Amino acid sequence: MSNILDKAETTLGRKQYHIKLSPGDIGEYVMLPGDPARSDMVAKYLDDAELVANNREHRTFTGFYKGVKISVTSTGMGCPSTAIAVEELANIGGKTFVRIGSSAAVQPGIAIGDLLVTTGAMKNEGTSRFYVPDVFPAVPDYELNDLLIRTARELSAEFDYKVHVGISATDDAFYGETREWIEKLSKLGVQNIEMEASALFTIAHLRKLRAACICGVSGNLVTGEVIYESTNDKLVEAWDKEIKVVLETFYRLEQLKLQGALLEKEETARIAEGTP
């Protein structure tokens, strides 16, 4: 049995099979849209943005925002391809991930173009079951999510959007969501439905990474405000706004990390000098 492949050991720290990226190609901060075209949207906000890989559904740019090295990799739709992307990004140095997506609301009072931040994900998918028991929760990193929420609320006045915070449902089957299923989720107090967050949160937890999720509202399944025929301008604007929110969140997180490192260095110096 000694010849059975250990995927974790074999893939770590080398060029990755699916995303076609190697160590050094990405920053530790990574944005995760589903649609490859939205990687291009993020790249417009990065200084010195470079397309470093484009394979399958995974399109990656790396650049800088206010001096912080940031990457964006599209995951494709659903938990399986998202799990592959996150695992491989983590193998080459990714540490902090935020999904930037589209999502359907299932509560009244949420409109197309609003932003949704996930506090936990209902695991209505199969990928997480390969990692953890069904009863294991799928939740974002607390500190990252808290900063994401505060940043989103702070910037809402400047960029004119509403922010909603709550539990999401991560579903596997877009067209399998019946009226009865949507009604059940709404009665449970679920805020919105999307297709990737629970796998992202699960893998990030197991690998001791940070992860969070913010989505623009593409429609409301309980009010009937849904447009499937064409891209809605309000949704496109929401993608733009969530990108700005996440970039600023990454920048602020990096500043907090640098401040913490400076304080730790000063404390170490005081101890070495015997200063109280």
- For residue 155, count other CB atoms closer than 10 A to its CB: 18
CA distance 90 to 81: 14
Please give the C-alpha separations between residue 148 and each of 141, 144, 156, 251, in angstroms, as whole numbers. 10, 6, 12, 11
**Per-domain boundaries in the chain:** 11-273
The answer to whether 227 touches 112, Cβ cutoff 8 Å, is yes
pLDDT digit string, tens, across residues 185-238: 999 999 999 999 999 999 999 999 999 999 999 999 999 988 776 667 899 999
CA angle 99, 101, 107 (to 5 degrees): 115
pLDDT digit string, tens, across residues 156-173: 999 999 999 999 999 999
Listed in order, strand segments (DSSP E) in 74-220 are 96-105, 115-124, 163-171, 192-194, 210-220
pLDDT digit string, tens, across residues 73-82: 999 999 999 9
pLDDT digit string, tens, across residues 60-69: 999 999 999 9
Can you spell out the DSSP letters for 116-138? EEEEEEEEESSGGGGTS-TTS-B
The amino acid at 216: G
pLDDT digit string, tens, across residues 227-274: 776 667 899 999 999 999 999 999 999 999 998 876 665 566 566 666
255 CB-near residues (< 8 Å, 6+ apart):
none
Cα–Cα nearest to 232, from 120, 113, 64:
113
The answer to whether 101 touches 58, Cβ cutoff 8 Å, is no
Question: Which CATH number applies to 11-273: 1.10.10.10, 3.40.50.1580, 2.60.120.430, 2.60.40.10?
Answer: 3.40.50.1580
